[in-house]
Structures are given as structure tokens and as C-alpha cells.
Chain A
Amino acid sequence: MEINATARKKQLKENISGYLFLSPAFIILGLFLFIPTLMSIYYSLTDYYMLTPDKTSFIGLDNFKKLFNDPLMRQSILNIFKFVILIMPIQVGTALGLALLVNNQEKHTIIYKIAYFSPVVMSLVVVSILWLYLLNPSSGLINQVLMKMGFESQPFLSSPNQAMITIVFVSAWQGAGYQMLIFLAGLQNIPNEVYEAATIDGANRWEKFSKITLPMLKPTSILILTTTLIDAFKLIIQPMVMTQGGPLNSTLTPAYYIYRTGFTDRFVGYASAMTVIYGAIIISFTVIQRKIVGGDGDE
């Protein structure tokens, strides 16, 4: 009996120590995630206007009813789906391609890693401003090069048809380096003996890539696809800096619309309703993606 009591005391002490170590993380998560989420849900049911917080009143689901009839919200959701569908293969594909290139280098790999990773360390605002200059239809470097090659100058960000795809390429340019490093780590974890065995069996490069590299990169790929998807849905900086959601709302994203509604127009209640719905959309798509691609990838 005495031994049991001592063991229980020891277990309790260990549990308390464990919770104490976890508490800073829980406090931070609580302050910056759980509490704001609950507050957003509460505000979404009110008419909270930033300039008159004391006059906030409960309005039930009115914000949500307005949201479902809001053409700008519909447009922004269409825009973000377009962005997500384009960025996923382009950015992830580029990252994988760069990782394969670097992995096949025998010398000076550090130079390639730095070169491909350097856009990642630049702030998105700086990247957006930089590309704004490069893509200027009148005086930008990109059009200067195109015209020298005999092509016509392109409108890029000033065309409703080209603006979003331009933002996709800028985003992929900026973000691919980070995923390249993750893919590289995954590639370097694949034992060389597997490739040697495949060579002995007569496998060509494509067969090695499709039957060894890709399957063995699955856990890495799932991580990258999930994080890229979530990051893609959060698109705000590039449209805010480069196009202000235009031209003709072709680059207005839900995150930017929410920011504008909440902070520029000061309709915090309505913006909160948008965040609730949009958050639910992102979570749903993340779950669907995991189900399609596979959960843990332990195969």
C-alpha cells in the first residue's frame, strides 16, 4: 500500500512537472489563438463598429445572412480558389525540381541553396514592391526584356486577366526556396542502396523517380502540401501591396477583404463573421486534402 502511494505521488509530481513545462505554450496559444477565436465568434453575432465599441449589440445571424449575399465575398472566394489551384502545382513542383537539381550537384551545393533560398528571407512586402517595379508595363525590366526579344509589352498587374497569375508566380518565386530545403532533407534521407538496387534491376531515371523518389518523399510531400495549402488561403500581402485587390477586384482575396472590412471600414462584427466562415472553409479543405493525399504516409 505504501509503495502504491509513493508511486502515485511520484506520478502526480511528474504530471505536474509536465503540465508546468506545457503551460507557457498553452498560455500563448490561449492568448493568441483560442481566446481571439472565441472573441471572433462572439463579435460575428454583433454589430461591432470600431469607432463606437460601447454601442455594440447582439444581432444574431444577420452578419452571416448579409455575407451569403455579398458579391465581393463570392468574388474573393473564387479568386482565392484560382490562386490555390495554380500555386500548389507551380510552387511545390518548382520546389521539388530545385531540390532534385541541388541534390544532384556534387560541388558547391551551398551556393545553390543560398541562391534558391534567398527570396524566402526577404519580407513579402519588400518582394511585392520589388516585383511591382519589375512588372511595370511601361518601364519594368520584365517588359524591357520581352520587347527586346520581340514580344509585346504585357500589362501584368494592370490586367484583370493577368493580375492573379502574376501574383501566383511572384508568390512561387518567393516561397519555393523554403520547400526546396524540406524536399532536399527528404531526398537525402532516401538510402542510396535503393537506387543502386534499382539500377541493377535496369530501372531508368524516370522509373527511379516515380517508383522510388516520389513514394519515399510522401511524408515530406504531405507536410509541404498541407502547409502550402494553408498558406495559400492566407494570401493578403501581395494583393494589398501590388494591386489593392484590383484591377476590377480580380485579386481581392478573402483575407484582404476581411482586413479591409475590419480595419479600414471598421465593421468588426461583419469582418468577424467573414473570418468564422472563411476559417471553416480552410479547415474543411485541409481535412479533405489530408484524406485524399493520405494521413500519416506511413507506408
Chain B
Amino acid sequence: MKNIKRVIATVLVAVFTLGNLGVVSAQDDNVINLWVQYSEESAEGQVMVNSAKEFNETNEEGYVVEVSYVPRSGSGGGYEDVINAALTTNTMPDVFTLDGPNVAAYANSGMLQPIDDYVSNKEDILPSIIDQGTFDGQLYAAGYSESGVGIYYNLDMLEEAGVDLSTLPTVSEPWDWNQFNELLETLYAHYNKPVLNMGFDDQSEWLLYAFAPYIWSAGGEITNEEGTEAIGVFDSAENTSAFEFIQSLVKNDYSTITPVEYGFHTGEYALFMSGSWTMQQLDSEYKDINYGVMPYPVSPDTKELVSPTGSWAYGMSTTTDNPEAAGALIDFLMSEEQLYNMSMGNSVLPARQSVADRMMEEVSEPMKVLIEQNTTSGKARPKLVNYPQVSRTFQQTVTESTYFEQNPDIKSLLERKAQEIQSYLAQ
């Protein structure tokens, strides 16, 4: 009798367990796991919460997205550690966000699968977004926003220093480095301290993202087009002139390598090189700062305006069990309405032309400057498989150039760094 009871109990446990597994399996087929690199509480996170809810309620196939918010630090640390851990344990989600410059490495290693067939209305997506997400002729990642950087200026501080605001540059008529230096000289003479925060203390992807346009404006590059050569490219005369300009900003004390945090926001600095994200902060928390945005200064030799582009994108992992569901989610998140919500909610530049046109009617003048600068002069960062190492070398070059006493000779600094980049390209 005791044995019969044991057998019945075992069978019942087996039935319930297998039954539950069956139920879970049935649910899992329609569940799409999405990992994102921000917190749920952030502006981006709040937009995603609404997007996920809308997707779950409106899609006809019954797909359900479960979003995991994994806030990153700096240029991806924290979040990318989670991605790395998932790679080694083969537990990648169906869809995940990745920073634009990582597309080449991830696609080359087989982590991502092409999403050309899933993203609709690609003609409306900005060319820079398509370019960022394309590797070897196929689209692997769809950027959900663009980005832009400009020089924020404090109108009151400029006026106080005697600057004629009507002469400030525009996207169609940007200043060159010499004209920009004249402004800095005027401000420095009045305030007798550094007047420009360029974020030299931000030891992250910022240093390549924001400073590469200076070398590009001068006609320089980081590597050759194929991404195989840096010697003779990175240490070119054009790049030397750009880094000498950057070095001069610190050497002349116009900018500082140790800026006061929120210095522009609190009226410490008259100028601040930063992205569109600063507008949200200023508009919500520092309303007494009367500000505008001017475009990048350009090389006096070429007069060519170049600005940074690129941001985070959605990618589909090759290990997903349901590419159709994952593709449907990416397509939904890349729709005009969702991209509009993301751009407006997060104060970021749009990834679709239709969204850009819509936003130009609704955004502030500073944001219009960034959108216009982005669409007319945006240049994507190089797509290299060893991008993290090349980027770090570029970042260190920017930092080391600001230590002008230790590195008075920019040309030889660039020659050393070109060798370093070359070694990474060879791997």
C-alpha cells in the first residue's frame, strides 16, 4: 500500500511538472526578451515602458515583450558586461540594444543576424542610421535615435563680455577655429578663467565621438577606408593641425581638463560642448540659464562642417528562437510613432526623416540647430571589428594632447598612437 502511494505521488509530481513546463514553453514561444541599456526610471526608460505596453496590447500575433533594464555607465560598462556574460553562457536575449560602433564587431562575430527583412520603410530612415547599422552590405542594427553635439553658449555671459550675439555662427555659416579662438579670447579676457567645458575629464567614448569631427573637418581620418592602415593616416598633417588646435584650447587656458561639474548649468562657464541631452537638463532643472547652441567650429583650411552621429540601436541575436517575433518587435520600435516618442521624450535627434520634419515644427531653436547640423554634416564613426581598442587609443590621444607639457610635439604623439592603432587593426 505504501509503495502504491509512492508511485501515485511520483506520477502526480511528474504530470504537474511536465504540464507546467509545457505551459511555460507555450508562453515562451511568444515572449520576446529585450535588453536595454538604461534604467526604467530614466526618460528613455519611461518611453520604453509605454512602447512595450503598446506593443503587447496591439500586436495581432500575441507577442509579448519582456524588457530588462540594465543601466550602463560611461560608454557601456555594466550593460556590456552583462552582454559579455550572456555570450559566454549562451543566454543572449532575443533583441538587445548596442552602441553603434559595436555593430561591426558583433556582426563579424556572428552575434547579430540581419534584420533587412523585418524593418519596414527603410527609405525614411536617415542614411547615417542605415550606414551605422550596415556591415558587409547587410543591415544588422537599427538605430532608434540620432545624436548631435554643439557648443552651448550662455547668452547672458556672452553679452556681459561684450560679444555681439548677432554675429554668432549658424549651420550654414559656421565659424572656423580662428574665429572661435577670437570668441574664447574675448571671454577669457573678461572672466579671467577657463570659459569652455569640452568634457576632457569624460574618459569614455565621448572623447572619440565629440573630438573626431575636428580631425574630419581638417580632412583627416583615423584609418584608411578599408580599416587596414593607420600609419600614415592617423599621423597625417591634417590630424596634427586638429590636435594642435585641441591642445591650444587647454594651453591657452580657454578650456580645462578638470572642469567643475555642471559648470555651464551653474553659470561657471560661458561655453559647453555637449549633446542634445543637456537641453533636457537645462530646461527642467536650470531654467535660469539663457542658452543657445552653435555648430562645431570648422578647420580654417577646409571650412568643412563635420559633426558626430550615431547612437544606440536594436539588434537581433542569432540565438533567438523566434526571429519573426523579434523582427516584429524591432519593426514596431522603429515605426515613426515610436521613434517620435523616443526622440521627444528623451530630447534626442530623430532617426527618421519624417520624424525630423515633424519635430522641426515642435522643438526649440537649439534643438533645430542640432537637427539641421546632423542632417547636413553628420559623419559616422569608423566601422571596425576592433573598434573598442582603436577608440580607446583615440581617447588617450585626446587626453595626452591636453597634457601639453608632457606632449609638446603633437606629431610624434600621433606617430606613436598610429603605431598602436595599427597593431589593433592587424589583430
Q: How far is the CA of A136 from the CA of B87 in the complex (A)?
A: 38
Q: Is B403 within 8 A of A50, CB to CB? A: no
Q: How far is the CA of A265 from the CA of B392 in the complex (A)?
A: 10
Chain B 258-293 against A: per-residue CB contact (8 Å), 1 yes, 0 no? 111101000000000000000000000000000000
Q: Is A52 within 8 A of B258, CB to CB? A: no
A244 proximal to B (CB < 8 A): yes
Main secondary structure of the interface of A (DSSP, over half): loop
B170 proximal to A (CB < 8 A): no
A266 proximal to B (CB < 8 A): yes
Hey, which chain B residues are within 8 Å of A51, CB to CB? 87, 105-106, 108-109, 111
Q: Is B105 within 8 A of A244, CB to CB? A: no
A75 proximal to B (CB < 8 A): no
Q: Is A52 within 8 A of B203, CB to CB? A: no
Hey, which chain A residues are within 8 Å of B81, CB to CB? 263
Rounded to whole Å, the gap between the CB of B188 and the closest CB of chain A is: 16
B388 proximal to A (CB < 8 A): yes
Chain B 175-186 against A: per-residue CB contact (8 Å), 1 yes, 0 no? 000000000000
Q: Is A50 within 8 A of B111, CB to CB? A: no
Closest residue of B by beta carbon distance from A156: B258
Residues of A101-149 contacting chain B, CB below 8 A? 136-139
B406 proximal to A (CB < 8 A): yes
A219 proximal to B (CB < 8 A): no
Q: How far is the CA of A63 from the CA of B108 in the complex (A)?
A: 23
Q: A51-B111, A160-B403 are in contact. Are A265 and B389 (CB under 8 A)?
A: yes
A186 proximal to B (CB < 8 A): no
Q: How far is the CA of A163 from the CA of B404 in the complex (A)?
A: 17
Q: Is A264 within 8 A of B258, CB to CB? A: no
Hey, which chain A residues are within 8 Å of B403, CB to CB? 160, 247-248
Hey, which chain B residues are within 8 Å of A93, CB to CB? none
Hey, which chain A residues are within 8 Å of B201, CB to CB? 158
Residues of B59-107 contacting chain A, CB below 8 A? 77, 80-81, 84, 87-88, 105-106
Closest residue of A by beta carbon distance from B200: A158
Q: Is A248 within 8 A of B406, CB to CB? A: yes
* Most chain A beta-carbon contacts within 10 A, residue among B111, B258, B388: B258
B155 proximal to A (CB < 8 A): no
Q: How far is the CA of A52 from the CA of B399 in the complex (A)?
A: 32
B253 proximal to A (CB < 8 A): no
Q: How far is the CA of A138 from the CA of B256 in the complex (A)?
A: 9
Rounded to whole Å, the gap between the CB of B374 and the closest CB of chain A is: 28
Hey, which chain B residues are within 8 Å of A50, CB to CB? 84, 87-88
Q: A51-B105, A51-B106, A51-B109 are in contact. Are A266 and B406 (CB under 8 A)?
A: no
Q: How far is the CA of A256 from the CA of B403 in the complex (A)?
A: 23
Residues of A245-272 contacting chain B, CB below 8 A? 246-248, 263-266
Closest residue of A by beta carbon distance from B106: A51
Hey, which chain B residues are within 8 Å of A243, CB to CB? 203
Q: How far is the CA of A264 from the CA of B203 in the complex (A)?
A: 14
Q: How far is the CA of A200 from the CA of B12 in the complex (A)?
A: 84
B110 proximal to A (CB < 8 A): yes
Q: How far is the CA of A243 from the CA of B87 in the complex (A)?
A: 29
Residues of B93-133 contacting chain A, CB below 8 A? 105-106, 108-111
Chain B interface size, as a band, is 20 to 34
Q: Is B399 within 8 A of A247, CB to CB? A: yes
Residues of B108-162 contacting chain A, CB below 8 A? 108-111
A53 proximal to B (CB < 8 A): yes
Q: How far is the CA of A49 from the CA of B260 in the complex (A)?
A: 39
Q: Is A139 within 8 A of B261, CB to CB? A: yes
Hey, which chain B residues are within 8 Å of A155, CB to CB? 258
Q: How far is the CA of A243 from the CA of B77 in the complex (A)?
A: 15
Q: How far is the CA of A237 from the CA of B261 in the complex (A)?
A: 22
Closest residue of A by beta carbon distance from B256: A138
Contact of A53 among B87, B203, B399 (CB under 8 A): B87
Q: A51-B109, A52-B109, A263-B84 are in contact. Are A244 and B258 (CB under 8 A)?
A: no
Chain B 362-390 against A: per-residue CB contact (8 Å), 1 yes, 0 no? 00000000000000000000000000110
B171 proximal to A (CB < 8 A): no
Rounded to whole Å, the gap between the CB of B74 and the closest CB of chain A is: 9
Q: How far is the CA of A264 from the CA of B389 in the complex (A)?
A: 9
Q: Is B87 within 8 A of A158, CB to CB? A: no
Q: Is B257 within 8 A of A138, CB to CB? A: no
Q: A158-B258, A263-B81 are in contact. Are A53 and B88 (CB under 8 A)?
A: yes
Rounded to whole Å, the gap between the CB of A75 and the closest CB of chain B is: 13
Rounded to whole Å, the gap between the CB of A139 and the closest CB of chain B is: 5
Rounded to whole Å, the gap between the CB of A79 and the closest CB of chain B is: 16
Chain A 38-80 against B: per-residue CB contact (8 Å), 1 yes, 0 no? 0000000000011111000000000000000000000000000
Hey, which chain B residues are within 8 Å of A137, CB to CB? 258
Q: Is B110 within 8 A of A248, CB to CB? A: no
Q: Is A244 within 8 A of B106, CB to CB? A: no
Rounded to whole Å, the gap between the CB of B403 and the closest CB of chain A is: 6
Hey, which chain B residues are within 8 Å of A248, CB to CB? 399-400, 403, 406
Contacts A/B (CB < 8 Å), 28 sampled: A50-B84, A51-B105, A51-B106, A51-B108, A51-B109, A52-B110, A53-B87, A53-B88, A136-B261, A137-B258, A138-B256, A138-B258, A138-B260, A139-B260, A155-B258, A158-B201, A158-B257, A246-B203, A246-B399, A247-B403, A248-B399, A248-B400, A248-B403, A248-B406, A264-B80, A264-B392, A265-B389, A266-B84
Q: A138-B256, A266-B388 are in contact. List 17 more A-B contacts (CB 8 A).
A: A49-B109, A50-B87, A50-B88, A51-B105, A51-B108, A52-B109, A138-B258, A138-B259, A138-B260, A155-B258, A158-B258, A246-B399, A264-B77, A264-B80, A265-B388, A265-B389, A266-B84
